[in-house]
Amino acid sequence: MQPKVREAKRTSQIDQYKTDVVCPAFERPLDGARFLGFARQGLLVMMSLCLQVAIGGCSKEADQSANSSSQGNRHIVRESFTNTLGMRFHYIPPGEFMMGTSVDSTVQGVPEVYLKMEVPHTVQIKQGFWIQTTEVTNEQFLEFVAASGYDGGEQGNEDFLRHLHDPKYAQFREANKPVMFVSMYDAMAFAQWLSRKESRSYRLPTEQEWEYACKSGGTPNGSETASNEKLTERAWYKANSQQCSHEVAQKKANRWGVHDMLGNVWEWTSSPFPEDIAEESGLGKDVRHIRGGSFDNSASACRCAARWAGWPPTKRSRAVGFRLVCDGAASVKSEK
């Protein structure tokens, strides 16, 4: 259809100005027959060129579309939902990414035993999932405590209650700041309660899922913050935090719309820490990965690929919190 439209438009313009056209070969005005002959030839050449461009463009679009399909994890996520606690989740599509990072000048002050864990390797995320766009807040966690009567479970409640009531920690207890002093088991109890409450499947992310979401599907150097200037835009860390946690979602989100993956508080994952490295570094045997760094850490810890931190699942710390992921996307009515 397009060549016909262009031909009609072009012919109309030629009809309007043909009496003024001069043939460069003979330097005399064209009569009607000679003009139409030249015009037809010119239009055929133009139509041929347009068709080649159109075919080339379509081929390029097809290649880009195929590449986008295989690299769909690079697209900005728009699908989301908000649950009954006001926790917002974004959909993370399945895909493949490079986990880890090359050892370079941006990684300073990290023991060699831990850098072994950051050797680049390809990881495939086979199932999409929904990730919370912020860390779980004090307000959200306390709603769980009030509704369930949770008191710290089998671990006891000394550290747990101290965080909730000790005036020393008042600056960390503001409603929209990330909850801290929670063990992995505390986080799992929250996820299980929320799953029953909403008939959905909430859980902690694996460290592979966490890094995939942190990198928005993958970046060349294993970090979305190649400089401290960019890190300041994205994270609360030692250089800008005033040694305190901050309200969630105050810093720039990553390309997939997820806030605070770096800095503010460390985040629990469900993945076990390598036993040999845990023992070599004195962490013990039953250790889980925590990721992202905190307000109390330098830039070397606040990297997407930094996976050298771990705690026993019973450990509670002022700098460790969590965020959840949700499975079963088909049961979620997404908000565009």
Q: Which domain holds residue 47?
A: 2-70
- Whole-prediction pTM value? 0.73
Confidence of residue 169 (pLDDT cuts 50, 70, 90): confident
| Average pLDDT, integer, range 223-233 | 68
Per the prediction, the chain carries an average pLDDT of: 75
Residue 8 or 191, more confident: 191
Query: How much of the chain exceeds pLDDT 70, in percent?
Result: 63
Under the banding of pLDDT at 50, 70 and 90, the label for residue 227 is low
Q: Which of 99-108, 134-143, 283-292 has the lowest mean pLDDT?
A: 99-108
CA distance 233 to 230: 5
- What residues contact residue 173 under an 8 Å CB cut-off, 6+ apart? 138, 163, 164
Same structural domain for residues 56 and 119? no
**Is residue 291 within 8 Å of residue 266, measured between CB atoms?**
yes
Q: Please tell me which residue, 68 or 89, carries the higher pLDDT value.
A: 89
Q: Provide the H-helix boundaries in the chain.
A: 2-17, 32-70, 112-115, 138-148, 158-165, 184-198, 207-214, 228-234, 275-280
In this prediction, residue 56 carries a pLDDT of 41
Share of the chain above pLDDT 90, in %: 46
Question: Within this chain, do residues 110 and 224 fall inside the same structural domain, yes or no?
Answer: yes
Q: Which of 40, 70, 100 is the last residue of a domain?
A: 70
CA distance 323 to 134: 7
Examine the domain organization and report whether 228 and 272 are in the same domain.
yes
pLDDT at 107 over 80: no
| Range 294-318 average pLDDT | 88
**Is residue 2 predicted with pLDDT exceeding 60?**
no
Window from 24-38, 88-102, 168-182, 186-200 with minimum mean pLDDT: 24-38
Same structural domain, 66 and 85 = no
Mean of the pLDDT values across residues 118-139? 94
82 and 183 assigned to the same domain: yes
CB atoms closer than 10 angstroms to residue 305: 23
- Residue 248 belongs to a domain: yes
Q: Number of folded domains in the chain?
A: 2
Q: Are 150 and 56 in a shared domain?
A: no
Task: Give yes or no: residues 21 and 92 share one domain.
Answer: no
Q: Tell me the three state secondary structure of residue 326.
A: strand
Residues 6 or more apart whose CB falls under 8 angstroms from that of 168 comprise none
Question: Is residue 280 over pLDDT 60?
Answer: yes
In this structure, are 82 and 133 located in the same domain? yes
271 vs 154, residue with greater confidence: 271
What's the mean pLDDT in 237-260? Answer: 95
The pLDDT confidence band at residue 290, using thresholds 50, 70 and 90, is: very high
Q: Is residue 195 part of a domain?
A: yes
Decide if pLDDT at 281 tops 80. no
Asked if residue 290 and residue 155 are part of one domain, the reply reads: yes
Residues 171 and 272 in one domain: yes
Is 51 a residue whose pLDDT tops 90? no
